[in-house]
A and B are shown apart, each in its own frame.
Chain A
Amino acid sequence: MDIISNRKLYTVIGASSLGTLIEWYDFYIFGSLATIISEKFFPPGNPTAAFLATLATFAAGFIVRPFGALFFGRLGDLIGRKHTFLLTLIIMGGSTFLIGLVPSYESFSLAPAVILLLRLLQGLALGGEYGGAATYVAEHAPANRRGYFTSWIQTTATLGLFVSLIVIITCQQTLSKEAYNDWGWRLPFLLSVVLVAFSIVVRLKMSESPLFSKLKKEGKTSVNPLKESFGHKTNLKMVLLALFGATMGQGVVWYTSQFYAQTFLLKTCNIDATQANTWMGIGLLIGTPFFVIFGSLSDKIGRKFIMLAGMLIALLSYRYIFTQFYNYADIKQKTEIVDKTTVNVTRAADKAKPQDSVITTTTNKSFTDGSSYLEVKKETILADKSTTAPKPSIKKTVTLSDSYQWKVIGFVFILVIFVTMVYGPIAAFLVELFPTQIRYTSMSLPYHIGNGVFGGLVPFIGTLLYEYSKTPANPPGDVLAGLSYPIAIAAVCFIIGALYLSNKQQKQAITD
């Protein structure tokens, strides 16, 4: 392999990481704006159903990722890494931009279907992007520092979320609430086209991976990457081991720590969206350098130890950390300043059906720890008494006092550390497991099943389990029920990884 100068190597990392970061940004803004998307694009009615519908769409984006991995992975092993992950960038940027242009359900009845289609395209593109970027960087990096160099790609997933939160919060803060709810939420989607255009220009200037170029020159590229990856036992057994012994657990740890935590703070703890997102963002930013630290450390002590340690600590501490989040926001555990409590009741005609009226009860409470609570209850009174009135909608918002800021950020930071331990070394681990001819295809599938299916479904299954834990005997349900899924998956993955993975296998590395 040609010796590549450090300067060129950092250019490769910069260009690859920028594109991957933008793809993650595109992918995340949909998830971060799930609540407003649910209101705009899905038929109104039961808010939980609408939310689940959005999460289902969210999950659909993840579920198609393995198909994207197969499609683009095959393409990348046939025609090269550079052109393939350029294509994924264009598809991702185009889909994101178009989501920002789709009219809401009220004026366009096909909106839910169009949104779902665009979301599927996003998932397909992401399925092809990551494997390409990780492979491309790994094939440029020296063998003894592959963990370090590929870990820069790993930071993009968290930085992409961070950038998406910054853009969303900026839009929320600079626009009036009405303007944001009306059209401002579209801005993060529309901004994507500028970011993607810039990244395309950067990536066009890059050259093909040296290892792939060498194979191509020698006529040794794979003729049928899918068959060679999954039709031969020697490779298939490594694909399965990568999935069940590493990416499955890594995926659930990542999505629980980053996304389910966010859903939990917003939906279960009812913490004010700007406050929760800001604190999440700070925790993510402080934790991000640890991707590189653990990636680099994996070059010295091996990938397996770090990934499995992260998985084990995460599954043992999740319940404690999420309990703390819940306790901080639980108003039953706070002392109310009764004199400051206000209740305001208004009655107005229903905007959609003027013959009906809506009673809005707004309750404000303050607590001795400086936190406050806002509850807005809307009850529809039907003019036609023979029909059943819809269930009253209740929106609860807890604004925590500043004294909780560093406690929440601290726990978010710990959650991010788990992510950095399992995710920092994973790209190097995967690329070293498979030969260059079929690397893009072989590493992409277990990565995207682990992350897309097992990980991507964490918020969806978590919310579902929480809803199911609400019984007549226990109406509030078990707020930690949703954690059972990631804990169980991470535990099985830890056992398989500890028994079957070997650091030696990974050190066979890329020797072509």
Chain B
Amino acid sequence: MNALRRTLGLAWVILGPAAVIFLIYEAYGKIMAQPTQDVYLPWIIIITIFTPIAIGMVIFGLYALKGEYDR
């Protein structure tokens, strides 16, 4: 199980930035299609909030990779 915990650490490291890139990509598409406040404001809020959390996910993944959660 420890091997799986460590291996999946890589997935969490990738998931953080991947989620932010996905959000930016989606936001770009929606804002370009309809550049109004109703559209861009929610996206700015969402990306701003989730970016530090994504960084936390990367740190969590690194800890998992290093075996900090091994038992």
Residues of A within 8 A of B (CB): 46, 48-49, 52, 56, 59, 63, 233, 236-237, 240-241, 243-244, 449, 453, 457, 460-461, 464, 468, 492, 495-496, 499-500, 502
CB distance from B51 to the nearest CB of A (A): 12
The listed residue (A52, A63, A240, A449) touching B63 by CB distance below 8 A is: A240
A460-B57 contact in complex given A233-B68, A499-B4, C-beta closer than 8 Å = no
B49: Cβ under 8 A from any A Cβ: yes
CA separation between A449 and B59, bound complex, in Å?
16
Q: Are B57 and A500 in contact (CB under 8 A)?
A: no
B28 at the interface (CB under 8 A from A): no
B53 to chain A, nearest CB (A): 7
* Chain A hits for B4, CB < 8 A: 499
Q: Please judge, given known A-B contacts A237-B63, A240-B63, A499-B5, whether A46 and B49 are in contact too, CB under 8 Å.
A: no
Q: Within residues 39 to 60 of chain B, which ones have a CB less than 8 A from any CB in chain A?
A: 41-42, 45-46, 49-50, 53, 56-57, 59-60
Residue of A236, A240, A468 near B30 (CB, 8 A) is: A468
A49 touches B38 (CB 8 A): yes
Closest chain-B Cβ to A55's Cβ sits at a distance in Å of: 9
Partner of A464, one of B5, B42, B50: B42
- Contact call A500/B64, Cβ cutoff below 8 A: yes
5 more CB-based (< 8 A) A-B contacts, given A233-B63, A495-B8, A500-B5: A46-B38, A56-B45, A461-B46, A496-B12, A499-B5
A63 touches B68 (CB 8 A): no
Interface of A, secondary structure class, is helix
A52 in contact with B53 (CB, 8 Å): no
- Residues of B with C-beta under 8 A to A468: 30
Task: Report the minimal beta-carbon distance from A489 to chain B, rounded to whole angstroms.
Answer: 10
Tell me, in angstroms, the Cα distance from A394 to B15 when the chains sit together.
Answer: 42
Nearest CB of chain A from residue B61's CB, rounded to whole Å: 9
State whether B49 touches A453 (Cβ < 8 A): yes
Assess whether A244 is in contact with B8, with CB atoms less than 8 Å apart: no
Closest partner residue, chain A, to B68 (CB atom): A237
Asked whether, in the complex, the Cβ of A492 is within 8 Å of the Cβ of B64, the reply is no
Q: Report how many residues on chain B are interfacial, defined by Cβ distance under 8 Å.
A: 24
Chain A residue with Cβ nearest B57: A244
A-B contact pairs, 7 of them (CB 8 A): A48-B38, A63-B45, A63-B49, A237-B69, A244-B12, A464-B42, A495-B8
Contacts of A46 in B (CB 8 A): 38
- Give the nearest-CB partner of A50 in chain B: B38
B interface with A by C-beta (< 8 Å) = 1, 4-5, 8, 12, 15, 30, 38, 41-42, 45-46, 49-50, 53, 56-57, 59-60, 63-64, 68-69, 71
Residue contact A500 to B38, C-beta cutoff 8 Å: no
User: Chain B contacts of A461 at CB under 8 A?
Assistant: 46
Report whether B38 and A240 are in contact in the complex, using a CB–CB cutoff of 8 Å: no
Docked pose: A83 CA to B64 CA in angstroms: 38
Residue of A whose beta carbon sits closest to that of B1: A499
**In the assembly, what is the distance between CA of A243 and CA of B30, in Å?**
30
Residues of B within 8 A of A499 (CB): 1, 4-5, 8
Interfacial chain A residues near B53, Cβ < 8 Å = 449, 453
> For B69, what are the chain A residues with a Cβ–Cβ distance below 8 Å?
237, 241, 500
Q: A52-B38, A56-B41, A499-B4 are in contact. Are A236 and B59 (CB under 8 A)?
A: yes
Contacts A233-B68, A449-B53, A499-B5 given; does A244 touch B38 at CB 8 Å: no
Nearest CB to that of A463 among chain B residues? B42
Kindly state the separation between the CA atoms of A500 and B59 in the bound complex, as whole angstroms. 15
Contact (Cβ within 8 A) A240 B42? no
Q: How many angstroms between the C-alpha atoms of A285 and B1 in the bound complex?
A: 41
The residue from A49, A59, A63, A241 contacting B60, defined by CB atoms under 8 A apart: A241
CA distance A63 to B52 in the complex (A): 13
Cβ-closest 4 pairs across A and B: A240-B60, A49-B38, A500-B69, A237-B63
Given contacts A499-B4, A499-B8, A500-B69, contact A244 B60 (CB under 8 A): yes
Q: Would B15 and A492 count as touching, CB distance under 8 A?
A: yes
**Least CB distance, A1 to chain B, in whole angstroms:** 28
Q: Least Cβ distance of A492 to chain B in Å?
A: 7
Q: Interface centre among A59, A63, A237, A241, by most B CB within 10 Å?
A: A237
Please measure, in the bound complex, the distance between the C-alpha atom of A500 and the C-alpha atom of B68, giving whole angstroms.
Answer: 10
Query: Considering the chains assembled together, what is the distance between the CA atoms of A495 and B42 in angstroms?
Result: 29
CB-defined contacts of B63 to chain A, threshold 8 Å: 233, 237, 240
Determine the chain A residues whose CB is within 8 A of the CB of B56 once the complex forms.
Answer: 240, 243-244
User: Could you say which of A244, A457, A460, A500 has the most chain B C-beta atoms within 10 Å of its C-beta?
Assistant: A500
| Cα distance A495–B64 in the bound complex, in angstroms | 13
- The docked-state distance in angstroms from the alpha carbon of A76 to that of B58 is 29
Residue numbers in A under 8 Å from B8 (CB-CB): 495, 499
Alpha-carbon distance A502/B5, docked complex (angstroms): 13
In the complex formed, the residue of A with least CB distance to B4 is A499
